[in-house]
């Protein structure tokens, strides 16, 4: 409680939010990478599931392999890096 009182007395309520800007900048890369990863993964599962169901397996759902996840991770990192690089230049 002493720390809370210190922050309130020196900076007011806004003191609790100091440093939020730099913290948000630090999480932007992983957020972009994770979003790309999830979108690519969902696309791949949908396409493979559609192929299985087209072959008569009406309740089948595609399962991704370790290699699929490896390549999805690599592609999402590449996409994130390209996105960030384009916005820095």
Contact criterion met (CB below 8 Å) for 41 and 72: yes
Closest by CA position to 26, among listed 68, 84, 86, 74: 84
Q: What is the pTM of this model?
A: 0.75
The pLDDT tens digits of the residues spanning 3-38 come to: 988 988 888 888 888 889 888 888 899 999 999 999
Angle, nearest 10°, between helix axes 20-54 and 66-88?
140
The pLDDT tens digits of the residues spanning 28-87 come to: 999 999 999 999 999 999 999 999 999 888 888 899 999 999 999 999 999 999 998 888
């Amino acid at each position: 409680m002493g720390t809370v009182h210190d922050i309130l007395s020196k900076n007011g309520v806004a003191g609790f939010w100091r440093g939020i800007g730099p913290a948000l900048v630090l999480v932007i890369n992983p957020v972009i990478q994770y979003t790309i990863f999830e979108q690519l993964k969902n696309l791949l599962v949908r396409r493979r599931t559609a192929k299985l169901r087209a072959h008569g397996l009406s309740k089948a759902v595609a399962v991704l392999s370790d290699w699929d996840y490896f390549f999805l991770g690599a592609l999402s990192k590449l996409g994130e890096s390209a996105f960030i690089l384009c916005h820095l230049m």
